[in-house]
Amino acid sequence: MVAAVVLPLAAALPRGSELAPTEARDGLPRGRVIELAGGPDAGRTSAAVQIVIESQREGDPVAWIQPRGGALYPPDLAAAGVDLDALLVVHVPEDAERAGAAKAAELVLRTGAFGAVVVDASDARVPRGEAWLGRLASLSREHDCRTVLLGPEEASGSLGPLVSMRLRARRRRVRFGQYRMELEVLKDKSGHRPTLPGPREWAGPEGMP
């Protein structure tokens, strides 16, 4: 398995937008369930890593829940600015039941110790129905935590109606070694509608065409 490439995504949802002072410095509301949609090469990981970095800058530890053997690569995270000492990574076993990732997220949220919890929900390790999302939403509000779900491709539909904000990430190659990252708001029930900046471009890692 090729590790995910982490590209810096500074201020995807800019500070000082239309958000109240109690909201996130990066424009993402606290106490909400946020879905990042897009395919595996769309840039979801880069967007989620930026949320991790911003939460750590606010003084909060962060948890990341993924299937065992997931794509997180510590050297890339450290190079992007993640404090690995303030990042808890939870691996859901391959033989775990369908609700494995959701149950792990509940346990982590109940501790109240994290400013953000990222859950790789792009495969089948989340339950059907809405009850699990309701529990995550309730715990997120209770502990003022951003719960970020890495969802399926946009065409597959949202993970559920209880998602407060849904963003679509897209990464486009514009020339050899250069990529354009775009984020689009697909849904926003938070009441604090952010304004996304225009597309941003970065050089890819050495060896990436």
72: left (phi over 0), alpha (psi -120 to 50) or beta: beta
Asked if residue 87 belongs to a domain, the reply is yes
Asked if residue 189 belongs to a domain, the reply is yes
The 10s digit of each residue's pLDDT in 174-192 is 777 677 767 788 888 866 5
What domain range includes position 190? 33-152+162-195
The 10s digit of each residue's pLDDT in 95-141 is 766 688 889 999 999 999 999 999 988 765 666 678 889 999 999 99
Asked if residue 97 belongs to a domain, the reply is yes
Asked if residue 12 belongs to a domain, the reply is no
CATH number at residue 181: 3.40.50.300
Asked if residue 76 belongs to a domain, the reply is yes
Query: Could you tell me which residue, 42 or 162, shows the higher pLDDT?
Result: 162
Percent over 70 (pLDDT), the chain: 69
What's the number of domains the chain is made of?
Answer: 1
Asked if residue 68 belongs to a domain, the reply is yes
Average pLDDT for 192-200: 47
Asked if residue 10 belongs to a domain, the reply is no
CA 31 to the chain's CA centroid: 14
Asked if residue 112 belongs to a domain, the reply is yes
Task: Specify the pLDDT at position 10.
Answer: 37
pTM of the model: 0.76
Kind and range of the H or E element at 149?
A: strand 146-150
